[in-house]
Amino acid sequence: MHTWQPTPPPAPILVVEDDPDTRLLLRDGLTHAGLSVTAVAGGRAALTWLEDTRPALVLLDLGLPDLTGKAVAEGLRARYGAGVPLLVVTGATQPMEGAAEVRALVYVRKPFTIAELLVAVRALLSAAADCAESATPAAAR
């Protein structure tokens, strides 16, 4: 059986999750899969981190205590446009609505397994890499 071995993205994945247990699970699960991760507990910390670093992917809880997930997503989009994929991690009963509101292509509903999360992360990182490659002129490849 072939096991997928990720090529670490050129930038870390940003995890924005206020619940310490879920944040630790996300950080450790992604790190164990060979990915570079920065985890923060709130929206303000996320926006501060985003000032200096473009992430490969953002995992965003929409129910943050200090800022809404929508505010964090708007800050991300204002700084980096739509080029950074966004994955919503939510316990909401209507997760599609929240994901659509922040223009996230994918959501994972709590509770989730790390295997389920990694499928979504791999898909988004792969799609982002494909988009970046197709945006590179052929002469530069």
Buried b (16+ CB within 10 A) or exposed e, 93-124: eebeebbeebebebbbeeebeeeebbebbeeb
Structure tokens at 10: 């050129």
pLDDT tens for 106-132 read 999 999 999 999 999 999 999 888 776
90 phi and psi angles, rounded to 5 deg: -145, 155
Answering whether pTM is above 0.95, one says no
Query: According to the model, what pLDDT value does residue 11 have?
Result: 85
Residue 2, amino acid: H
Average pLDDT for 58-68:
95
Q: What tens digit of pLDDT does each residue of 75-112 get? A: 999 999 998 999 999 988 888 888 999 989 899 999 99
Q: Sorting pLDDT into bands at 50, 70 and 90, what band is 37? A: very high
| pLDDT at res. 119 | 95
Domains observed in the chain: 13-135 (3.40.50.2300)
